Every structure is written in structure tokens, then in C-alpha cells.
Structure 1
Amino acid sequence: MKLTKLKTNLGFIMSALILLLFAGCSDDDSNTPATTTGTTTTSTITVNSTLLSFPDAIVNTTTEVKELIVKGVNLNSQIDLTSTNGFEMSLDGVNFSDNLQIDAASANTDTVVYVNFYTEVVGSKNGTISLSSANAANVNVSLYGNASPVIHNYVTFNQQRLAFGSGFNQSHTETFNLHADQSNIETVKMYVKLTCPTGGCDEWDVYANVKVVDPTTGNLYELGRYITPYWNDNSQLDRGFEFDVTDFKSLLTGATELRIRTECWNDKGYEVTVDFDFIEGTPDYLYYAVSPVIAYDDWSSSGVPYGVAHNFDLDKTVTIPANAESTHLRTIISGWGHATPADSATNRPCAEWCFRTHNIKINGANTFEHYMGPIGCSSNPVNNQSPGNWSADRAGWCPGMAVPTRKDVFNTSVAGSTFTFEYDYEDWTNDGANGDAFYATSTFVVVKSNSPISAPVVTN
């Protein structure tokens, strides 16, 4: 009986507790956290690429268009796009700007955005497209483009055959029309391309150069010098030997007389093509003028005899125009001959092989130094010269290479001044036991100014 009563009381107590628990729960939703069932949605922006790289463009022109595919996921507002640094976008491929919107109705479908690159400045550019939309993380696309300058190309000699005998000549002179307006020309490059005629090229490494005629004096000025490869051409170089001939821009304009020469002594020779690039940009100075100081450069043995007495005039007096804002000397030098005594330590005869240091004296003082040492013949990309002895280091030149141009700049102004010039070869005496030695040498004085300038005056 007591047990039954206890069970009844416990049941009553449990029922009361349950009622109290439900009584504590209110029907007012404002006091109750909302409970939902299902998956959480995420809003995102997707692109098919995070990097767009453009092919080289010409400055002041627009590149080919790249396509960027944009798609939103669970977006409920528009996508805003902004681009920087000369890169522009379009939805129709016609109207480009640096700001775009993809409306909300299209935000969650594939949208093609057309992108191009335009710049007025030469060089590489990096930019960004930033994409944003409400409730979505921003997305950035990296952009890269490069702008090249406007180049005016002029082909002059075109596979002109130079040889000796069988009706061929070692040199050829012709007049060509070159770029007339030099006002925005920053650089002038010359390229010399050699090809082998039927029957093959000359088997020897021979002296060769390109000259321009000064229309005022009729003198020939050496633009560039090269030594031909043994047995072959320079087809391993895309455009051949390259020379910076900006110093002569005042002569390379309009009707221009040019001469090419190779010191071939057989009827094989070479086919010679010469072309010029006139590269637009901002010139360092608006006006250039040039005068020869010494010019013993027609062929290898027309150079200055080395190690013997001679009557070649290597002492000059130079007067610089008063408005010169920049002055420098431009020299090309290469040695020829196997004269002795050879250098005792290296067994190198002169002047093809012997390493030397020559000086230019200004007003009697050593001012500029020319070291005639190795320049890396064995690493020459024109390396198909076997069985010729092409890889051994010469003194300051190599078979199948352009001969280096040496520029010596006056760091202090010499405007309006007169100075003496002497080309001083390092002392050495030829013993006469193995022929002669020569240094084919040309030196020019170049002046520049932002006002019209006359050529320097050079006297003996």
C-alpha cells in the first residue's frame, strides 16, 4: 500500500516538473533564436585566368585583344571591374575603358571581358584588373605588356656580291634614301648580314667595313668594321652584325652615299646586305655633328705601321664648337700581322695577337686608354668556322665578329676649347724577322647640342 502511494507521488512530481518546463518556454519568437535547416550559401567571383600577358606592342598602338571570362556564383548584385596602367576593358570588343560593370542579371553567367594594352611610353608595364561585388571576396587579375618603339627600317645593299676576280670587286658604292626627319630619332642601328654565294664563302677571316660619304667634304667615314668568319657567313645571327651608328645620324639622312668593302682575295667572297633601323624616341640631344681625327682604316695593312718608324700623322689639333653640350671620341682599332719578337710570356706576335694598351693623349696627358686584349673568340655564336682557327683569342677582335667601337666621353665640358690629340701606341720594336705589323685605326670626334651645331675643326 505504501509502495503504491510512493509511486503515485513520484508520478505526480514528474508530471509537475514537465508542466513547469513547458510553462517556461514562451510562444514569443522575439525571445527565441531562429533555427533553420539547410546549407550555407557562399558568393564568389571566378575568372578563367589570373594572369594576362600581352605580346610586344608598338608604342602608341593597341595590342591584340585578350579575353577574360568572368562568372559569379550566388551573386545578387553587379560585378565592378577596374584596370590600371594603360590596360583597358570592354564588354563588346569596341568600346574600351578602365571601368566596367557586369549587371546583376548577368553576374552569375559566363561573361567575356575583352582586354587590350596601349601605352605612349616604351618599356614594360604591369597592371591589374580588380573585380568586386557585394558579399563576395575581391579578385585580382595580373596584367603584363611591353611596348617597343616605332622603328623605320631601310634596306640599302641587298646581297651585293663582293669578291676579287671573275668580274667581281672588293668594294661597292651606292646612294640610298634614308630617313629624312631626325627630330624624334633616338637611336640608329646598322646591321650587316653575310650570305654565301653559290660555291661557298671565302675561306679566310678578312677585314671588312661600311663607310658613309660626308657630302660636304667627300670624305669616307667608317660606320662599322667587322672581320668575316672563316669559310662561312653570319647566318647564326638573326640580323647579322649589329652596330650603333647614332653618332653619324647627321650624315645618315636623305640621299646618302655608302660604301661596303671586304678584303677578299678570291672570287668567292660574300653577299652583303646592309640595313638600318631608325628608332623613334627622345634623343639625348637634338643635333649631332662629327669630324674625323685620324682615318687609317681602308684595309688591314693600310693601318698605322707598328714597331717601326713611319710618317703617319697621329697628332692633331681639335677645336670644339662653343655650343657643344656633349663631346666624345669614337675609335675603332684592330691589329694585323705576325711580326716578331713575340711577347716572351705568351708567345704572341704582333699586331693580331699581342695584347697591348694604347693611350689617347689630350694636351699631352694620357686621358683615354684602349686595351687590346681578348674578347672571347671561343664563345662567338658564329661558331661554324671550322677548319679555320677561329676560337683562339686575338688582340681586341675575333673572326666572325664586329670589331668593338670604343667611346671616350669628356666628362668635363670642352665647349669652345681647342686641345691637342695624339694616338699613342704602346712601345714595341719590330725586329723585321717575320713581316710587318699594322693597326687599322679610325677616330672621330662627336659633338651634340640642343641648338644647331657645326662640326668640330680638326687640323694637323
Structure 2
Amino acid sequence: MKKLLTLILLSSFTLISCKDDEKPDEEPSKITIKTFDNAKVAFGEGLSQSAEGTFNFPANLDDVKTIKMYIKDICLNKDCDEWDRYANLYAKDKTTGEWYELGRFINPYWVGNEKLERGYEIDVTDFKSLLSGSTELKIYTETWNAKGRKYSVEFDFEKGTPDYKYSAVVPVIQYNKSSIDGVPYGKEFDTNKFDLTRQINIPNDAEIAYFRTIISGWGHALPGTCAEWCVKTHNIKLNNTNTFQHKLEGIGCAKNPVDNQEPGNWKPDRAGWCPGMVVPVRFNNIQKSMFGTAFTFEYEFENWTDNGSNKEGAYYAISTFVVVKSNSPINKPTITN
């Protein structure tokens, strides 16, 4: 009887020990936040080319490694604007009220991007300092009919150790409200309206800094049907020295997985973009020797002259941001005209 009681007690202890050793539920490796849901943008009476909303993101992003944005471009039964339209998505800076371009994409012809499981994917980790707590977003499409486009957008906040603990981002230039609000190309333009020069001061305690640029060419001006179809190379000049080059050339339109855009003219390469694809981001690292001192920035287009035979003209829609990061608290860079 004594042996039997001992075995019962040992069994009970073992059962209790197993329960105590169980691991608590692990935290999810990512948090998905849904924002716009079938939001329609269109042109016409009572319609708008943009949609805005306020959404709640995680308040503390210390343990967030990356932030990915996914955009579903919805067009069922070809009930959308059939043309390849300029489109982008913004977040509002809570301090200044300025809209920051998170990403840019071009609608496909006739269809949506249903062939992509989650839609267009854009890494927006550089805008981490904006995407916390209550955040205002805006999505825009340069559509000119009542059919317009519909979008659903969500963000993945992926847990992990970030590359740097602190970061900040500020715009250097933004002429990106639409393709025709871009900088005129091939002729003189009003430098008060389109100023491509700035003075930049990066905090001395930054550990890394870089430019983040999105640029796409529009229009069919001659010669060369610029800026949509001609290959041009532009320069970022720092302290009047050509420092970085951006070549506006094809990015492989014919290989686009959104390959059901018939009868649209989606396969030929354009100046740095494709119908049904994200416009790529161009990154340029800034030398540490420039941190802590003011330097001049200028975005300079390759020389080309519009002969005036096509009234449509040529334009470059562009945004450039400067991103700084550090493992100690850091101030924003300062930008002056």
C-alpha cells in the first residue's frame, strides 16, 4: 500500500511539472493592419481621384524589423479604368502635416493585380517614424473617368531586431502629385515652382544616411517621345559635383507577372516604370564625411530639348527623401531651400 501511494504521488508530481514546463503562447512574428478596404477613386461629379483615412498602427515599434505595404488593385470583370494610370500612396507627417510618398505604382491595362497573391509589395520601413499610432493615409490615382479604380491596402509589421534602433526621414523634393504635376522636361520651367536644389544638414551622430528617390517619366514630346519612352541619365549633384546617377531605362515590362493586360500595350519598356508594376526606389548612400555639415543638393536632368511639336509635353514625377539611422536617439536632418 505504501508503494502504491508513492507511485500515485510521483505521477501527480510529474503531471503538475509538465504543466509548469509548458511554453506560453508565442507572440506572433508579424502584425497585419488592414487599412483601405475596396476604396474607390474616380473622376467625375461627386467623385474623387483620391481616398483618405485614419488608421491605428502599433504604438511601439521598437521590436519591429521591417514594415511591408501590400496594395490590391481591384478590377473585377474589367469594370475599372482601362488605362495605365499613375498612382501612389502617402502617409501624413503628424508634426508638419505634409504628405510623404510611401510608394508609387502604375495600374495595369484592363485588369487588376489579382495575379499577385497580396498585390503590389512595397517596403516602407524607411517611414517607420510616421507609421505608428493613429496615422492618416491617402491613396491617389490619375484616373479621368467614373469607373476609376478600387483598392485594399494592408501593412505587415514584422517582428525582430531592427538594423538600427532609431531612424528619421524627411523629404528633400516632392513633385509627385500626378504625372502632369511633375517637373517639365526639355524646356525652361519656373524655378520658383520647381526648385530642384536644397541645402541639407545630416546630424553628426547619424550612423548611416541615404537618399530614397522615386522617379518616372511621362509624355510623348519629340524628339525621342520623351519622357516616357526615351532613356536618359540624370545626376544628383552634391556640392556641385556629380555624385549619383539615375538611368531612366527599361525594367523588364514583358516579364511582369501581371501578364493578362490584353489588349493593352504593356510589354514595351518605359522610362523606369511598367504598367501593372511598382515604380522602383533608387537608393544612394551618403558618405559619413558629409555628416554634421551643410551641403548642397541638386537633382539635374540630362540635357534634352523639346522641339514643341507635341503639345502634350514631357514630365518627370519625382520624390527624394533623406533617411538617417542610429542606435542612439537622433534628430531629423534639416532641409532648406
TM over 0.5, yes or no?
Answer: yes
Where does residue 456 of structure 1 map in the other structure?
333
Matches within 5 A, 1:279-290: 279-290=158-169
Partners of 1:426 and 1:186 in 2: how far apart?
Answer: 38
Please, which runs of 5 or more residues in structure 2 have no aligned partner?
1-14, 20-25
Q: Secondary structure at the match of 2:258?
A: coil
Partners of 1:149 and 1:447 in 2: how far apart?
Answer: 28
CA contact (8 A) 2:76 2:111 kept: no
Aligned partner of 1:158 among 25, 37, 40 = 37
Where does residue 432 of structure 1 map in the other structure?
308
Q: Which has the larger radius of gyration?
A: 1
Where does residue 201 of structure 1 map in the other structure?
80
Letter in 2 for 1:206: R
Where does residue 442 of structure 1 map in the other structure?
319
Q: CA deviation at 1:173?
A: 1.2
Partners of 2:290 and 2:155 in 1: how far apart?
Answer: 31
Matches within 5 A, 1:330-369: 330-342=212-224, 349-369=225-245
Letter in 2 for 1:323: D
Where does residue 277 of structure 2 map in the other structure?
401
Letter in 2 for 1:379: K
TM-score by length of 1: 0.66
Residues 107-134 of structure 1 deviation map (CA, whole Å, 9 limit, x = unaligned): xxxxxxxxxxxxx9xxxxxxxxxxxxxx
Aligned partner of 1:419 among 287, 292, 295 = 295
Residues 180-213 of structure 1 deviation map (CA, whole Å, 9 limit, x = unaligned): 1111111111111111267611110000000011
| Greater relative contact order (CA < 8 Å, ≥ 6 in sequence) | 2
Change (3 A) 1:198 1:170: farther
CA contact (8 A) 2:78 2:110 kept: no
Count of equivalent residues: 314
CA contact (8 A) 1:318 1:457 kept: yes
Q: CA deviation at 1:415?
A: 2.5
Matches within 5 A, 1:61-460: 150-165=29-44, 167-196=46-75, 200-310=79-189, 311=191, 312-342=194-224, 349-435=225-311, 436-460=313-337
Percent of pairs identical after alignment?
Answer: 56
Please, which runs of 5 or more residues in structure 1 have no aligned partner?
1-91, 97-119, 121-147, 343-348
TM-score by length of 2: 0.89
Q: Secondary structure at the match of 1:290?
A: strand
Q: Root-mean-square deviation (CA), in Å?
A: 2.0
Q: CA deviation at 1:419?
A: 0.8
CA contact (8 A) 2:76 2:112 kept: no
Residues 6-39 of structure 1 deviation map (CA, whole Å, 9 limit, x = unaligned): xxxxxxxxxxxxxxxxxxxxxxxxxxxxxxxxxx
Q: Secondary structure at the match of 1:383?
A: coil
Q: Secondary structure at the match of 2:321?
A: strand
Where does residue 53 of structure 1 map in the other structure?
none
Q: CA deviation at 1:411?
A: 4.0
Residues 212-250 of structure 1 deviation map (CA, whole Å, 9 limit, x = unaligned): 111111111100000000111000000111101111000
Where does residue 11 of structure 2 map in the other structure?
none
CA contact (8 A) 2:31 2:157 kept: yes
Partners of 2:18 and 2:119 in 1: how far apart?
Answer: 43
Partners of 1:413 and 1:282 in 2: how far apart?
Answer: 27
Q: Secondary structure at the match of 2:290?
A: coil
